[in-house]
């Protein structure tokens, strides 16, 4: 009697599955990249800029003396350089103005205190804030120092006990001064 060798088919089936999965993944990869928009160019910025200047030179020397539409287009690299060259703010530098400006950013009762916070537009390293709270029957005055922030300043803040103030409608006036610069912030609060 002759014995037949049984062949193990599991390794063959596993290899076929791996090949089929590889083909499916490759097709999916190419399909995804084909459906996405293509980049215009992967040339270095120096080559693109040189080519643009060459195009602009040739476009401006047309026989009719007008420029073609290609000369009016700018590349993204040159747009970024233009943005960096432009000043962030136009107009007068607020830090050199004699008049200080800002806002009262917060005024409310928290716990047993009236809390008042400010923001001053100018970047100041020293100065004072003089708070005046006024109602029809009473005036209260407090002071604090100016504290610098990276690009602005603020008053140290005011925390006035409500028992010292009383209830009602109060006008808030804060005189800010630093050297020869001065300004006034105003607002209202209901206690």
CATH number of the domain to which 175 belongs? 2.60.40
Domain that holds residue 116: 98-190
- Is residue 24 situated within a structural domain? no
Q: What is the pLDDT of residue 182?
A: 93
Task: Tell me, yes or no, if the pTM score tops 0.85.
Answer: no
Contact 184, 174 (CB under 8 A): yes
CA distance 96 to 123: 10
- Is residue 66 situated within a structural domain? no
Q: What is the pLDDT of residue 48?
A: 46
- Is residue 175 situated within a structural domain? yes
Residue 181: CB atoms within 10 A of its CB come to 17
- Is residue 75 situated within a structural domain? no
- Is residue 129 situated within a structural domain? yes
The CA-CA-CA angle for residues 49, 84, 96, to 5°, reads 150
Q: What is the pLDDT of residue 160?
A: 94
Instruction: List per-block mean pLDDT (blocks of 10 residues) for the chain, which spans 191 residues.
Output: 67 86 83 62 47 46 43 50 52 74 94 94 93 92 94 93 91 94 93 87
Structural domain total, the chain = 1
- Is residue 62 situated within a structural domain? no
- Is residue 90 situated within a structural domain? no
Q: What is the pLDDT of residue 62?
A: 43
CA distance 118 to 147: 11
Q: What DSSP string runs through 96-125?
A: G-SB--EEEEEEEEETTEEEEEEEESS--S
- Is residue 163 situated within a structural domain? yes
């Amino acid at each position: 009697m002759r014995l037949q060798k049984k062949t193990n088919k599991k390794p063959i089936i596993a290899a076929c599955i791996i090949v089929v999965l590889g083909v499916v993944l490759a097709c999916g990869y190419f399909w995804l990249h084909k459906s996405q928009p293509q980049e215009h160019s992967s040339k270095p910025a120096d080559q693109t800029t040189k080519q643009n200047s060459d195009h602009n030179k040739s476009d401006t020397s047309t026989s009719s003396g007008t420029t073609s539409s290609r000369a009016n287009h700018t590349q993204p690299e040159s747009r970024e350089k233009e943005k960096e060259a432009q000043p962030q703010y136009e107009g007068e530098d607020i830090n050199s103005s004699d008049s200080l400006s800002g806002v009262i950013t917060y005024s409310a009762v928290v716990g047993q205190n009236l809390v008042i916070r400010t923001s001053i537009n100018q970047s100041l390293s020293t100065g004072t804030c003089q708070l005046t709270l006024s109602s029809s029957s009473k005036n209260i005055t407090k002071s604090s120092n100016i504290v610098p922030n990276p690009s602005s300043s603020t008053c140290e803040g005011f925390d006035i006990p409500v028992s010292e103030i009383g209830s009602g409608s109060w006008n808030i006036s804060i005189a800010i001064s630093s050297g020869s610069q001065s300004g006034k912030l105003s607002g209202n609060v209901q206690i």
